[in-house]
Amino acid sequence: HINKKVTVVFVLGGPGSGKGTQCANIVKHFGYTHLSAGDLLRAEQNSGSENGAMIKNVIKEGRIVPSEVTVKLLQRAMEQSANDKFLIDGFPRNQENRAAQENRAAFESVIGIEPEFVLFFDCSEEEMQKRILNRNQGREDDNMETIRKRFRTYIESSLPVIEYYNSKGKVRKIDATKPVEEVFEAVKDVFAPLND
Ligand code: UP5
Ligand code: MG
């Protein structure tokens, strides 16, 4: 596991709910390092890794990459950073991810860190779909067929993880349907007390 004392915030919410956008704002204002599990997986896919074809296929199908792969990428990124405060964006996404994250013995190296809290961007499916279709950054999962699959995976697999953390009093829910600046005002209210 990670050998330094670190603060971790999980940033969760549906596809296109604004996780990446708000993480960029949090980095600027509060000095966290942003680790997007999806970005790390896309980079791994493009690096010629032996897992590349598998990752590409899983993302195209809107399913979830096996925890071992994602956990190792997150772990490596945290170890390579000099920072001790991390936003982990888009992970854990299912119960298997969560168990792997919590269980120090499950893999050779796991994160094993209890999050400070879980920032949850709550957004309507209609709005998320509109945002993704407008994004135009060439992501292979930003097409209607994959978007439908991503929404289904989110409801079936990811919402139960958010429910789990909610039952532990860890969730800070944000209305993410509003404009970017208004969402960030609400986000600031969650982070400000930590910096006092
Ligand atoms: N936008 C943002 N906020 C807005 C606002 N308030 N008002 C209007 N527009 C707003 O935003 C999306 C778009 O909306 C942007 O154009 C933005 O300008 C605009 P963004 O900030 O990118 O939203 P985000 O929630 O980050 O959307 P993203 O598409 O990245 O979320 P996903 O959760 O779908 O994608 P991710 O990259 O996390 O995962 C992709 C795939 O990787 C998954 O489907 C899965 O197959 C795989 N994966 C795993 O298998 N395991 C993991 O642990 C993680 C990913
Ligand atoms: Mg994102």
Complex confidence, ipTM:
0.99
pLDDT at 109 over 50: no
* Residue with CA closest to ligand 1 atom 16: 135
Cα separations (Å) of 111 from 8, 122, 190?
10, 26, 24
pLDDT at 122 over 60: yes
Look up the CATH number of domain 7-186: 3.40.50.300
pLDDT at 45 over 80: yes
CB distance 102 to 1 below 8 Å = no
Rounded Cα gap, residues 48 and 103, in angstroms: 29
**92: helix, coil or strand?**
coil
Mean pLDDT, rounded, for 169-194: 96
Tell me, what's the pLDDT at 6? Answer: 86
Pocket of ligand 1 (CB under 6 A): 13, 15-21, 36-38, 41, 58-59, 62-65, 70, 90-91, 93, 97, 131-132, 135, 141, 150, 179-180, 183
Could you list the beta-strand ranges (E) of the chain.
7-13, 33-36, 85-89, 117-122, 171-175
Mean pLDDT, rounded, for 12-28: 98
Tell me, what's the pLDDT at 82? Answer: 94
pLDDT at 106 over 80: no
CA of 132 to the centre of ligand 2 (A): 10
pLDDT tens digit string along 63-103? 999 999 999 999 899 989 999 999 999 999 999 999 888 76
Give the environment of ion ligand 2: residues with CB less than 5 A: 19-20
DSSP 171: E
Closest atom of ligand 1 to 24 CA is: 21
The full set of domain ranges for the chain reads 7-186
Share of the chain above pLDDT 70, in %: 92
Tell whether omega for the bond before 92 is within 30 degrees of 0, i.e. cis.
Answer: yes
